[in-house]
Amino acid sequence: MNPNLQQLRQLGQSLWLDNITRELLDSGTLAKYISEYDLTGLTSNPTIFDEAIGNSDAYDDAIRQKHATGLDGETLFTELALEDLRRAADLFLPAHRASHGVDGWVSMELSPLLASDTASSIEAATRIHRQASRENLFIKIPGTPEGVPAIEEAIFNGVPVNVTLLFSREHYLAVAEAYMRGVQRRIDANRDPRVACVASLFVSRWDKAVAEKAPAELRNRLGIAVAQRTYRAYRELLASTQWKHLEQSGALPQRLLWASTGVKDPAAPDTLYLSALAAPDTINTIPEKTLQAFADHGSVASTMAEDGGDSEAVIAQFAESGIDIAALATQLQHDGAQAFVKSWRDLMQRIASKASQLEHSNP
């Protein structure tokens, strides 16, 4: 295994790839990453699939064939995405089995057009998970106010969930409570409490949002501070009486996942968020370029402090400079949801254009 990435794995952090393409699968590159980098999962989103389909002809035959059978739009895309994710899930199945269901996951995002429709989100999560027919596939549901009841209900229904679009400690705690409510309801109903869930906190978008507003000495420090603050809440929750009761009943911990860990600032170290977010019992989902950079020259000086380190002092400095952290968290979540909607619509248009083009071309 790569010695630089091994530093993260040895301290108890899971490394997942924030990407999937048919070429990664067909070329054996994903299998190579699993072997050489000890990857134990991956995540996907509409933007990733839009770029994969748009920048490659690897999906053309499948699009042509599915469109010819009458599939289009979201139905066609779901079939297309699940073909890739099933293959990836099978590659990660040994890690899934070895970890007794804690690790070895892949993720499929619900349509972001459902983000404000709790009932439809619950129905779609259950349907797509059944359609995927893989025990190690998460359904991604946004941790927005409308998404929180859908998360609870999905967990109660036995659907594993990757909660996405979290930007603060408060966002995390809201979905952690939803997860625990869902698990407790399963216990009360004499159902198996082992339903996996991860909570994905987005990091680098904080620093991009304040890049032109914060003092130079605070550049690229807010995202890490928010992550440290959230990590403290995570450790405190895992030590709480409420969680211990669920754990004793057989429940799995909802693991904290670091998302958006690609560096946006060209002046910053390209491995900044991997080095800073090294912590036991967490996951870092990593863009391919960042993964390769850390494999080449990454290092870990220390692990994250369970008490949050200097996060409160750093956040206070940002507040003193006029940045409203709570308001910005709300704005980032809203903007993230809107960006996913745009990516989804771009993806649907991409598939429609390709299907039309391929329909009138020779196979």
**Structure tokens of 323?**
């940045």
CA distances from 100 to 7, 94, 104, 283, 291 (A): 23, 10, 9, 16, 26
**Structure tokens of 227?**
């992550």
- Is the Cα dihedral 183, 79, 88, 108 positive or negative? negative
User: Which amino acid is it at 77?
Assistant: F
**Structure tokens of 210?**
């304040």
| DSSP state letters, 114-171 | GTT-HHHHHHHHHHHHHHHT-TTEEEEEE-STTHHHHHHHHHHTT--EEEEEE-SHHH
Catalytic residue among 140, 213, 244, 264: 140
Residue linked to tokens 């003092």: 215
CB 87 within 8 A of CB 113: no
> Which three-class secondary structure state does DSSP give residue 15?
strand
Reply yes or no on whether 140 is catalytic.
yes
Which active-site residues does the annotation give? 140
